[in-house]
Structure 1
Protein backbone atom coordinates (compact mmCIF):
# COMPACT_ATOMS: atom_id res chain seq x y z
CA UNK A 1 0.00 0.00 0.00
CA UNK A 2 3.01 2.26 0.34
CA UNK A 3 3.15 2.36 -3.47
CA UNK A 4 -0.42 3.66 -3.53
CA UNK A 5 0.55 6.50 -1.22
CA UNK A 6 3.65 7.25 -3.28
CA UNK A 7 1.44 7.28 -6.34
CA UNK A 8 -0.89 9.82 -4.82
CA UNK A 9 2.07 12.05 -4.12
CA UNK A 10 3.44 11.42 -7.60
CA UNK A 11 0.16 12.64 -9.09
CA UNK A 12 1.15 16.19 -8.30
CA UNK A 13 4.50 15.67 -10.02
CA UNK A 14 3.34 13.52 -12.90
CA UNK A 15 0.64 15.56 -14.62
CA UNK A 16 3.04 16.55 -17.37
CA UNK A 17 3.77 12.89 -18.07
CA UNK A 18 0.26 11.53 -18.12
CA UNK A 19 -0.64 10.32 -21.59
CA UNK A 20 -4.13 10.22 -23.05
CA UNK A 21 -6.33 8.27 -20.72
CA UNK A 22 -10.05 7.86 -20.36
CA UNK A 23 -11.33 6.30 -17.19
CA UNK A 24 -13.66 3.36 -17.59
CA UNK A 25 -15.24 3.89 -14.19
CA UNK A 26 -17.45 6.76 -13.20
CA UNK A 27 -17.87 7.50 -9.53
CA UNK A 28 -20.03 9.72 -7.40
CA UNK A 29 -17.50 10.97 -4.89
CA UNK A 30 -18.10 14.59 -4.05
CA UNK A 31 -15.76 16.96 -2.27
CA UNK A 32 -15.90 20.76 -1.82
CA UNK A 33 -18.96 20.89 -4.05
CA UNK A 34 -17.22 19.10 -6.94
CA UNK A 35 -17.71 15.62 -8.34
CA UNK A 36 -14.75 13.40 -9.22
CA UNK A 37 -14.94 12.21 -12.84
CA UNK A 38 -17.88 14.47 -13.58
CA UNK A 39 -17.09 18.15 -12.97
CA UNK A 40 -15.59 19.99 -15.94
CA UNK A 41 -13.05 22.80 -15.74
CA UNK A 42 -15.78 25.33 -16.57
CA UNK A 43 -18.06 23.96 -13.85
CA UNK A 44 -15.24 24.24 -11.31
CA UNK A 45 -14.47 27.80 -12.46
CA UNK A 46 -18.07 28.74 -11.65
CA UNK A 47 -17.46 27.72 -8.03
CA UNK A 48 -13.78 28.59 -7.50
CA UNK A 49 -11.20 30.97 -8.90
CA UNK A 50 -8.53 28.73 -10.44
CA UNK A 51 -4.87 29.63 -10.77
CA UNK A 52 -2.77 27.59 -13.21
CA UNK A 53 -0.32 25.43 -11.29
CA UNK A 54 0.85 23.07 -14.02
CA UNK A 55 -0.49 21.35 -17.07
CA UNK A 56 -4.11 20.48 -16.22
CA UNK A 57 -3.62 21.35 -12.53
CA UNK A 58 -4.91 24.42 -10.78
CA UNK A 59 -4.60 25.80 -7.28
CA UNK A 60 -7.60 27.06 -5.37
CA UNK A 61 -7.41 29.72 -2.67
CA UNK A 62 -7.60 27.76 0.59
CA UNK A 63 -9.79 30.48 2.09
CA UNK A 64 -12.50 29.68 -0.47
CA UNK A 65 -12.71 26.03 0.62
CA UNK A 66 -15.66 25.45 3.00
CA UNK A 67 -13.71 23.06 5.26
CA UNK A 68 -12.05 24.04 8.53
CA UNK A 69 -8.25 24.09 8.51
CA UNK A 70 -7.44 23.76 4.79
CA UNK A 71 -3.96 25.21 4.19
CA UNK A 72 -3.69 24.57 0.45
CA UNK A 73 -5.85 23.06 -2.29
CA UNK A 74 -5.51 21.95 -5.89
CA UNK A 75 -7.56 20.25 -8.58
CA UNK A 76 -6.41 18.18 -11.54
CA UNK A 77 -8.19 17.40 -14.78
CA UNK A 78 -7.84 15.00 -17.66
CA UNK A 79 -9.95 15.26 -20.81
CA UNK A 80 -11.84 18.15 -19.16
CA UNK A 81 -13.02 15.98 -16.25
CA UNK A 82 -12.01 16.38 -12.63
CA UNK A 83 -9.74 13.49 -11.63
CA UNK A 84 -7.98 14.75 -8.50
CA UNK A 85 -8.68 17.07 -5.58
CA UNK A 86 -5.87 17.64 -3.10
CA UNK A 87 -6.22 19.34 0.26
CA UNK A 88 -3.45 20.16 2.74
CA UNK A 89 -4.06 20.30 6.51
CA UNK A 90 -2.02 20.54 9.70
CA UNK A 91 -0.78 17.08 10.66
CA UNK A 92 -2.71 17.19 13.93
CA UNK A 93 -5.95 16.75 11.90
CA UNK A 94 -5.22 13.10 11.02
CA UNK A 95 -7.48 11.48 13.63
CA UNK A 96 -10.24 14.02 13.01
CA UNK A 97 -10.23 13.40 9.24
CA UNK A 98 -9.86 9.64 9.69
CA UNK A 99 -13.01 9.58 11.83
CA UNK A 100 -14.99 11.60 9.29
CA UNK A 101 -13.91 9.46 6.32
CA UNK A 102 -14.37 6.22 8.24
CA UNK A 103 -18.02 7.15 8.85
CA UNK A 104 -18.67 7.74 5.15
CA UNK A 105 -16.32 5.56 3.09
CA UNK A 106 -15.05 1.99 3.13
CA UNK A 107 -11.60 1.69 4.74
CA UNK A 108 -9.27 -0.14 2.36
CA UNK A 109 -5.93 0.09 4.20
CA UNK A 110 -4.35 2.12 6.98
CA UNK A 111 -1.35 2.61 9.21
CA UNK A 112 -2.25 4.95 12.03
CA UNK A 113 0.52 4.59 14.64
CA UNK A 114 1.85 7.98 15.65
CA UNK A 115 5.46 6.75 15.67
CA UNK A 116 5.63 6.29 11.89
CA UNK A 117 4.30 7.62 8.61
CA UNK A 118 0.53 7.59 8.94
CA UNK A 119 -1.90 6.92 6.13
CA UNK A 120 -5.39 5.73 5.43
CA UNK A 121 -6.91 4.73 2.11
CA UNK A 122 -10.65 4.71 1.68
CA UNK A 123 -12.66 3.60 -1.36
CA UNK A 124 -15.90 4.94 -2.78
CA UNK A 125 -17.46 3.98 -6.12
CA UNK A 126 -14.18 3.68 -8.03
CA UNK A 127 -12.44 6.55 -6.25
CA UNK A 128 -9.73 6.60 -3.60
CA UNK A 129 -9.64 9.00 -0.68
CA UNK A 130 -6.14 9.02 0.79
CA UNK A 131 -4.87 10.67 3.95
CA UNK A 132 -1.07 10.80 3.97
CA UNK A 133 0.83 12.19 6.95
CA UNK A 134 4.61 11.73 6.79
CA UNK A 135 6.32 11.18 10.15
CA UNK A 136 7.34 14.42 11.86
CA UNK A 137 5.78 16.52 9.10
CA UNK A 138 3.79 19.60 10.01
CA UNK A 139 1.26 18.87 7.27
CA UNK A 140 -0.81 16.04 5.88
CA UNK A 141 -2.43 15.69 2.50
CA UNK A 142 -5.87 14.42 1.63
CA UNK A 143 -6.21 13.29 -1.97
CA UNK A 144 -9.44 12.38 -3.71
CA UNK A 145 -8.58 10.60 -6.95
CA UNK A 146 -10.28 8.47 -9.58
CA UNK A 147 -8.91 4.96 -9.01
CA UNK A 148 -8.40 4.23 -12.72
CA UNK A 149 -6.58 7.52 -13.19
CA UNK A 150 -4.45 6.84 -10.11
CA UNK A 151 -3.46 3.46 -11.55
CA UNK A 152 -2.52 5.04 -14.89
CA UNK A 153 -0.40 7.69 -13.15
CA UNK A 154 1.31 4.96 -11.13
CA UNK A 155 2.11 3.03 -14.33
CA UNK A 156 3.47 6.17 -16.00
CA UNK A 157 5.53 7.01 -12.92
CA UNK A 158 7.07 3.51 -12.89
CA UNK A 159 7.86 3.76 -16.61
CA UNK A 160 9.53 7.14 -16.12
CA UNK A 161 11.62 5.81 -13.21
CA UNK A 162 12.58 2.74 -15.23
CA UNK A 163 13.64 4.90 -18.18
CA UNK A 164 15.66 7.18 -15.88
CA UNK A 165 17.34 4.14 -14.33
CA UNK A 166 18.27 2.70 -17.72
CA UNK A 167 19.56 6.08 -18.92
CA UNK A 168 21.65 6.57 -15.78
CA UNK A 169 22.90 2.99 -15.92
CA UNK A 170 24.03 3.45 -19.53
CA UNK A 171 25.74 6.73 -18.70
CA UNK A 172 27.46 5.38 -15.60
CA UNK A 173 29.04 2.36 -17.31
Structure 2
Protein backbone atom coordinates (compact mmCIF):
# COMPACT_ATOMS: atom_id res chain seq x y z
CA UNK A 1 0.00 0.00 0.00
CA UNK A 2 1.46 3.36 -1.06
CA UNK A 3 0.35 5.87 1.58
CA UNK A 4 2.53 8.67 0.20
CA UNK A 5 5.40 8.28 2.68
CA UNK A 6 8.81 8.25 1.00
CA UNK A 7 11.79 7.15 3.08
CA UNK A 8 14.46 9.85 2.91
CA UNK A 9 16.93 8.46 5.43
CA UNK A 10 17.47 5.14 7.18
CA UNK A 11 20.25 4.85 9.71
CA UNK A 12 21.95 1.72 10.96
CA UNK A 13 20.66 2.29 14.48
CA UNK A 14 17.05 1.73 13.41
CA UNK A 15 16.03 5.35 12.82
CA UNK A 16 13.83 5.82 9.76
CA UNK A 17 12.84 9.28 8.50
CA UNK A 18 10.11 9.60 5.87
CA UNK A 19 8.54 12.56 4.07
CA UNK A 20 5.15 13.20 2.50
CA UNK A 21 4.45 16.37 0.49
CA UNK A 22 1.17 17.93 -0.58
CA UNK A 23 1.55 21.34 -2.24
CA UNK A 24 3.50 23.58 0.14
CA UNK A 25 2.86 21.27 3.09
CA UNK A 26 5.67 18.95 4.14
CA UNK A 27 5.13 16.17 6.66
CA UNK A 28 8.10 14.42 8.23
CA UNK A 29 7.87 11.25 10.28
CA UNK A 30 10.57 9.51 12.22
CA UNK A 31 10.38 6.22 14.03
CA UNK A 32 12.99 4.66 16.24
CA UNK A 33 13.67 2.52 19.25
CA UNK A 34 15.59 4.06 22.12
CA UNK A 35 17.54 1.69 24.36
CA UNK A 36 19.84 1.89 27.39
CA UNK A 37 17.99 4.80 28.95
CA UNK A 38 18.19 5.86 32.57
CA UNK A 39 14.93 7.01 34.22
CA UNK A 40 16.20 10.62 33.97
CA UNK A 41 16.91 10.30 30.24
CA UNK A 42 13.45 8.86 29.65
CA UNK A 43 11.83 11.82 31.40
CA UNK A 44 13.74 14.50 29.45
CA UNK A 45 13.11 13.05 25.96
CA UNK A 46 9.93 15.02 25.26
CA UNK A 47 11.54 18.45 25.18
CA UNK A 48 10.87 20.53 22.08
CA UNK A 49 14.15 22.41 22.24
CA UNK A 50 16.24 19.23 22.48
CA UNK A 51 14.17 17.62 19.72
CA UNK A 52 14.75 20.64 17.46
CA UNK A 53 18.50 20.29 17.99
CA UNK A 54 18.21 16.71 16.76
CA UNK A 55 16.14 17.68 13.69
CA UNK A 56 18.71 20.23 12.62
CA UNK A 57 22.17 20.79 14.13
CA UNK A 58 22.08 24.27 12.57
CA UNK A 59 19.45 25.49 15.03
CA UNK A 60 20.66 29.00 15.89
CA UNK A 61 18.56 29.71 18.94
CA UNK A 62 15.88 27.98 20.97
CA UNK A 63 14.41 29.45 24.11
CA UNK A 64 11.40 29.40 26.33
CA UNK A 65 9.42 32.63 26.10
CA UNK A 66 6.70 31.95 28.66
CA UNK A 67 5.45 29.16 30.92
CA UNK A 68 1.64 29.03 30.91
CA UNK A 69 1.35 26.27 33.53
CA UNK A 70 -0.51 22.98 33.12
CA UNK A 71 2.46 21.58 31.15
CA UNK A 72 2.13 24.31 28.46
CA UNK A 73 4.98 26.59 27.38
CA UNK A 74 5.65 29.04 24.56
CA UNK A 75 8.95 28.53 22.74
CA UNK A 76 10.86 30.30 19.96
CA UNK A 77 12.98 28.22 17.55
CA UNK A 78 15.29 29.96 15.05
CA UNK A 79 16.96 28.24 12.10
CA UNK A 80 19.22 29.94 9.55
CA UNK A 81 20.83 29.51 6.11
CA UNK A 82 22.58 26.18 6.71
CA UNK A 83 19.40 24.45 7.93
CA UNK A 84 17.58 21.95 5.75
CA UNK A 85 14.25 22.81 4.09
CA UNK A 86 11.62 23.46 5.33
CA UNK A 87 13.48 24.94 8.34
CA UNK A 88 16.02 27.02 6.36
CA UNK A 89 16.00 30.67 7.43
CA UNK A 90 12.81 30.20 9.46
CA UNK A 91 11.73 30.99 12.96
CA UNK A 92 8.83 29.37 14.76
CA UNK A 93 6.93 30.57 17.83
CA UNK A 94 5.10 27.54 19.20
CA UNK A 95 3.03 26.15 22.04
CA UNK A 96 4.44 23.01 23.65
CA UNK A 97 2.27 20.73 25.78
CA UNK A 98 3.72 17.69 27.57
CA UNK A 99 1.57 15.04 29.22
CA UNK A 100 2.68 12.07 31.28
CA UNK A 101 -0.02 9.40 31.01
CA UNK A 102 -0.90 6.96 33.81
CA UNK A 103 0.85 4.07 32.04
CA UNK A 104 4.12 6.04 31.83
CA UNK A 105 3.70 7.05 28.19
CA UNK A 106 4.86 10.59 27.45
CA UNK A 107 2.95 12.64 24.85
CA UNK A 108 4.18 15.97 23.46
CA UNK A 109 2.20 18.23 21.11
CA UNK A 110 3.65 21.35 19.45
CA UNK A 111 1.87 23.87 17.19
CA UNK A 112 2.55 27.43 16.00
CA UNK A 113 0.83 30.31 17.73
CA UNK A 114 -1.49 32.45 15.60
CA UNK A 115 0.54 35.12 13.77
CA UNK A 116 -0.85 38.04 15.76
CA UNK A 117 -0.12 36.47 19.15
CA UNK A 118 3.35 35.33 18.08
CA UNK A 119 4.20 38.83 16.82
CA UNK A 120 3.17 40.34 20.15
CA UNK A 121 5.32 37.92 22.15
CA UNK A 122 8.33 37.68 19.85
CA UNK A 123 8.97 40.27 17.12
CA UNK A 124 10.00 38.66 13.84
CA UNK A 125 13.69 38.92 12.93
CA UNK A 126 14.24 40.95 9.75
CA UNK A 127 16.25 38.26 7.99
CA UNK A 128 14.01 35.31 8.89
CA UNK A 129 10.67 34.05 7.66
CA UNK A 130 8.07 33.24 10.30
CA UNK A 131 7.32 29.58 9.67
CA UNK A 132 4.03 27.86 10.39
CA UNK A 133 4.32 24.58 12.26
CA UNK A 134 0.87 23.11 11.73
CA UNK A 135 1.34 20.20 14.05
CA UNK A 136 4.21 18.33 15.57
CA UNK A 137 4.39 15.78 18.26
CA UNK A 138 5.77 12.57 19.52
CA UNK A 139 4.84 9.71 21.76
CA UNK A 140 7.40 7.94 23.91
CA UNK A 141 6.28 4.56 25.24
CA UNK A 142 8.16 2.55 27.86
CA UNK A 143 8.70 -0.95 26.54
CA UNK A 144 10.76 -2.49 29.33
CA UNK A 145 13.40 -1.40 31.78
CA UNK A 146 15.98 0.63 29.88
CA UNK A 147 14.17 0.97 26.54
CA UNK A 148 11.32 2.82 24.90
CA UNK A 149 9.85 3.46 21.46
CA UNK A 150 9.48 6.96 20.06
CA UNK A 151 7.20 7.90 17.17
CA UNK A 152 7.36 11.49 15.94
CA UNK A 153 5.64 13.51 13.21
CA UNK A 154 6.15 17.10 12.04
CA UNK A 155 3.70 18.94 9.76
CA UNK A 156 4.82 22.34 8.53
CA UNK A 157 4.11 24.77 5.73
CA UNK A 158 6.97 26.24 3.76
CA UNK A 159 6.34 29.75 2.43
Greater percentage in strand: 2
| TM norm structure 2 | 0.41
Greater percentage in helix: 1
| TM norm structure 1 | 0.38
